[in-house]
Structure 1
Amino acid sequence: MSVVSFKDAGGDHITFLQVDGALYPNVGGIEQANEIRASVNAKARRDDIILSLATTIPDFKENHMVELITSNHMAAIPSPRVINSHMKFSQLPRDMIEKQSKIVLILRNPKDVAVSFYHHHTGIINVYHYKGKWENYLSLFNNGKVDWGSFYDYVHSWEKTIHDNPTHPIHVLFYEDMKADSAAEVRRLAHFMGVSLSEDLIEAIAEKCSFHNMVNDKVGLEDEKQKKLWRDEKPQMYRKGEIGDWKNWFTVAQNEEFDRIYAERMANSKLKFRFTL
């Protein structure tokens, strides 16, 4: 375990906790590192649901995240548990893999992910200690110097997992699809979960999960400990949630370079991301 720092293209530093080669937000130091290593031994339950959130926006207000809670905390969560994680399949608790806990993998296009990460890293100032500018930040993202490492390595690892474990129940959701037709994605998810929902309930769930409702959810963010992590003690977990907001941030040169890297890194991938709607 070590605390590591990386410089962006302008010389500003960003700080992470590094555990066994993987990068995490440093919210607990050595105790957090010990819990991350111990998490592989956590016990699964038959009705567990694992919400795997790619490298989007790490959700610090969520208190059921494998890499941010203690083993005792996880064990105390009542069933049915919905457990969040940004970990790769191989890093999840072994018992969850052996018992084939259902996994919902949520993916988002990497350009919007990069912009979201930038605001996340500059917002949670007392975790990342990052004060850099967007014009210098993108090199960090492109080189995997962000939480949980390279976006491309992450999605490739899940593609390989799905290919190598055809009997493990893994459901893939794209954020863009949820924005485009939330009700349709709720239906797909319900089918995966093996539950029957009325159309009225499907519409109600879609509305409850809409971005404008989520952005008004302040549960957990009013905690004084949480506030102290954020710039000016003003937590902002959800920003815009728009598809294609990257266009307001990427310069022409940045976009061309990103497209070159994307084409190279995703050449053998079957995943198709939508960068606009």
Structure 2
Amino acid sequence: MRLNPASEFLSLSLSIPLSPLSLSLYTSPPPSLSSPVSLSGSAIKRIPLLLNRRAAPFFSPSFTVIKFVDIHDTHGNLQRQQAVYFSAEMSYRGVGFGGADSPPSIQRETMTEIEGVPIISSVTQSWDQIRNFKARPDDVLIATYPKAGTTWMVEIVDCIMNDGDTERCKRSPTHDRAPFMELNPPKPFPSGLQQLASMASPRLVKTHLPVQLVPQSFWENDCKVIYVARNAKDNLVSYYHFQHMNQGLPETGSWEHYISSFLSGQVPWGSWFDHVIGWWESKAEHRVLYLFYEDLKEDPAREIERVARFLGKGLDQAVIDRITDHTSFSQMKENPMANYSTLPAFIFNQAVSPFMRKGTVGDWKQHFTVSQSERFDEEYRRRLAGTSLRFRTEL
């Protein structure tokens, strides 16, 4: 069986003996290699290609992962592992494939600590491997506090590293192009470390770790790091909505409770204050380009050019303009390779809140009461009093 690299989806229709159940399988990320690939399987009845992503019922809550398959080139070389999901179209009740009565689900994580930093428990399970991660000299590390513009920066950097070839940047989802280093999901999903180990150089590496927890190999290899910081109020609002829709993160509690948790640093990946200040101070010792979300919103072309210069890429204005358009919020919101719509709803429930929600500066005004804002500002002034770090909360 050969897959066309130009196709967005592979649909496999299977016949299941002794039951009136039919399964449709889809691969994600979609095959997008430079040459045809071979895929082996069993009980395959037919292989229609679905060129329109929206034609597939991919947002069904009945999706779950069943296995990973190896994708080889025509010479037998392993190219990648492909995640395979299934959707069960039930013709009777009671079949145990996560049907309408029992959709697949994952458990929300509990919180623990690593060196005093609150973090989800799955990270601690692979902490020795994360701490001893072997960075390569040409790795580019994209570091942020959660929901500070991570996906936006990954898309920008991927475009720059591919010389503005925006079509190539649609080859696979964000989480495949820039693996999340400390991600350690339940099987059969691969961990960030497993993804990175199989990647060719140069690699984009994503992390939310505070600077003191970053593996030493990044500093020993003098790797380039791009850090994006976002003003605390908007960051809190975005993180609150994200924790609601991300079915693997701990419950948020009420809005009022979440404000208290955020101010005290009792949220996954710890204190926003410690995070942004620690990375700000790291610029004195390491090759860190420190960017602000608000500056990117104000003049994206200017900031994209800064990133390109930092990466040693000389891009002409036409390329900068093309990247600016491709990485605009409106474009990324509709881009299935950037908006995380390739993840099933039992992981990212975008009916609760879209992954690409608003992408604005100042949305906090729609959430904070006057008293909540005053309380927040008091703690903010106290925590940032001894630093030169300054943020804008509106444009």
Settle same-fold status: TM greater than 0.5: yes
Residue of structure 1 equivalent to 2:3: none
Q: 4, 7, 18: which is aligned to 2:112?
A: 18
TM-score (norm 2): 0.60
State the 1:97 CA deviation.
1.2
Q: Distance in 2 between matches of 1:209 and 1:232?
A: 20
CA distance in 1 between counterparts of 2:174 and 2:112 reads 21
Residue 66 (1) aligns with residue 187 (2):
no
Secondary structure class of the residue paired with 2:137:
coil
| CA–CA distance in structure 2, aligned partners of residues 150 and 184 of structure 1 | 30
CA distance in 2, matches of 1:248, 1:234: 18
Identify which of 272, 297, 300 aligns with 1:151. Answer: 272
Matched, 1:141 2:262: yes
CA distance in structure 2 between the partners assigned to 1:147 and 1:62 by the alignment: 19
- In structure 2, the CA distance between the partners of 1:124 and 1:61, relative to structure 1 (3 Å rule), is farther
Question: What SS class does the counterpart of residue 269 from structure 2 fall into?
Answer: coil
Distance 1:235 1:82, change over 3 A: farther
**1:195 counterpart = 2:313:** yes
Alignment-derived partner of residue 36 in structure 1: 127
Tell me the secondary structure at the aligned position of residue 206 of structure 2: strand
Partner deviation per Cα, 1:230-253 (whole Å, 9 max, x = no partner): 448767221101100000011000
Partner Cα separation in structure 2 for residue 45 and residue 110 of structure 1: 32
Q: Distance in 1 between matches of 2:255 and 2:352?
A: 20
Please state how far the C-alpha of 1:17 moved relative to its aligned partner.
Answer: 3.4
Residues 45-81 of structure 1, C-alpha deviations (whole Å, 9 max, x = no match): 2211000112435769624011113433211122211
Q: Residue deviations 1:88-126, cap 9 Å, x none?
A: 223222211101110000000000001011101222245
Structure 1: distance between partners of 2:268 and 2:147:
9
> By how many angstroms is 1:127 displaced?
3.1
Return the alpha-carbon distance in structure 1 between the equivalents of residues 130 and 256 of structure 2.
37
Question: Against the structure 1 CA distance between its residues 182 and 83, is the aligned structure 2 distance closer, same or farther, given a 3 Å change threshold?
Answer: same
State the alpha-carbon separation in 2 of the partners of residues 55 and 260 from structure 1. 23
- How many residues were matched structurally? 254
Identify the structure with the greater helix proportion: 1
Mapped to 2, the partners of 1:34 and 1:261 lie a distance apart of: 33
The 4+ residue runs of structure 1 with deviation greater than 4 A are 57-61, 231-235
- Normalised by the length of structure 1, the TM-score is 0.84
What is the CA–CA distance in structure 2 between the aligned matches of 1:191 and 1:93, rounded to whole Å? 25
Residue of structure 1 in register with 2:217 after alignment? 95
Unaligned 5+ runs, structure 1 = 1-13
Deviation at 1:137, TM superposition (A): 2.1
For residues 288 and 350 of structure 2, the distance between their equivalents in structure 1, rounded to whole angstroms, comes to: 40
Higher relative contact order (CA 8 A, sep 6+): 1
- Please state whether the residue corresponding to 1:158 is helix, strand or coil: helix
Structure with a larger share of its residues in strand: 2
- Deviation of 1:22 (Å): 2.7
- Whether 1:75 and 2:197 are equivalent positions in the alignment is yes
Equivalent residue for 1:106?
228
Q: Cα distance, 1:145 vs. partner?
A: 1.1
2:386 aligned counterpart, secondary structure: coil
Q: State the distance in 1 between where 2:254 and 2:199 align.
A: 40
One-letter amino acid matched to 1:76: S
Match of 1:266 in 2: 384
C-alpha offsets along residues 176-235 of structure 1, whole Å, 9 cap, x if unaligned?
1011100000111111111100100001111111111122223353333xx212448767
Partner of 1:128: 250
Unaligned runs of 5+ in 2: 1-107, 152-172, 184-190
Alignment of 1:169-180 (within 5 A): 169-180=287-298
Kindly state the Cα deviation for residue 157 of structure 1 after the two structures are TM-superposed: 1.4
Q: Pick the structure with greater CA Rg.
A: 2
RMSD between aligned residues:
2.3
- Picking from 327, 331, 336, the partner of 1:213 is 331
Per-residue CA distance 1:146-194 (angstroms, 9 max, x = gap): 111111111121133223x1xx211011111011100000111111111
One-letter amino acid matched to 1:183: A
